[in-house]
Structure 1
Amino acid sequence: MVDGALRRALPGRCAFCLEAAAPAAPWCSSCFSALPWNLAACPHCAEPLPEALAGEPCGHCLVAPPAFGRSRVPLRYEAEVAGMMRRFKFHASPRAGAVLLSLLEAGLPAEARGWPEAIVAVPLHPQRAQERGFDQAGWLARRLARRLGVPLVRAERHRDTPSQRGLDRDERQRNVRGVFRVGVPLPARVALLDDVMTTGATLNALALACRRAGAREVEAWAVARTPLLP
Structure 2
Amino acid sequence: MIKGLRLLSTLLTPKVNSKERIQTALQGIRDLLPAGGGHCVACLAPDARYGLCNPCRQDLPVNRWHCRCCALPLAFAGNETLCGQCLQAPPPFSRVIAPWRYRFPVDGMIQRYKYNGQRAFARPLINDLADHLIATLDTTPELRPDLLLASPMHPARRRKRGFNQAADIAEQISKRSGIPWTTELVTRNRHTHPQRGLNREQRLANLRGIYDVTGTPPPRIAIVDDVVTTGATARSLAEVLLGAGATDVQIWALARTPG
Q: Does 1:183 align with 2:214?
A: yes
TM-score by length of 1: 0.87
What's the secondary structure of 2:224's corresponding residue?
strand
Give, as a single letter, the amino acid of the residue that structure 2 aligns with 1:77: Y
> 1:118, 1:145 within 8 Å by CA — same for their partners in 2?
no
Partner of 2:97: 72
Partner of 1:18: 44
Which deviates further from its counterpart, 196-205 or 126-135? 126-135
Partner of 2:76: 51
Give, as a single letter, the amino acid of the residue that structure 1 aligns with 2:53: C
Superposed, 1:1-230 pairs within 5 Å as 11-21=37-47, 25-108=50-133, 110-112=135-137, 115-153=144-182, 154=184, 155-228=186-259
Which deviates further from its counterpart, 43-52 or 61-70? 43-52
What's the secondary structure of 1:220's corresponding residue?
strand
> 2:72, 2:258 within 8 Å by CA — same for their partners in 1?
yes
Query: In the TM superposition, what is the alpha-carbon distance from 1:53 to its structure 2 partner?
Result: 4.8
* Percentage of matched positions with identical amino acids: 40
What's the secondary structure of 2:225's corresponding residue?
strand
Structure-1 separation of matches of 2:112 and 2:66: 26
Structure-1 separation of matches of 2:149 and 2:175: 13
> 1:15, 1:99 within 8 Å by CA — same for their partners in 2?
no
Show CA shifts across 1:63-112 (max 9, x none).
Answer: 11111100001111111111111110011112123222113123335243
> 1:40, 1:55 within 8 Å by CA — same for their partners in 2?
no
Give, as a single letter, the amino acid of the residue that structure 1 aligns with 2:166: A
> 1:42, 1:49 within 8 Å by CA — same for their partners in 2?
yes
Query: In the TM superposition, what is the alpha-carbon distance from 1:34 to its structure 2 partner?
Result: 1.5
> 1:10, 1:26 within 8 Å by CA — same for their partners in 2?
no
Show CA shifts across 1:4-52 (max 9, x none).
Answer: x9xx987243332222436x54322222222101111112111110123
Structure of larger gyration radius? 2
RMSD: 2.1
What's the secondary structure of 1:51's corresponding residue?
coil
> 1:186, 1:210 within 8 Å by CA — same for their partners in 2?
yes
Which deviates further from its counterpart, 62-71 or 107-116? 107-116
TM-score by length of 2: 0.78
Instruction: Sort the Cα spacing of 1:209 and 1:21 in 2 relative to 1 into closer, same or farther, 3 A.
Output: farther
Q: Structure 1 regions of 5+ residues with no counterpart?
A: none
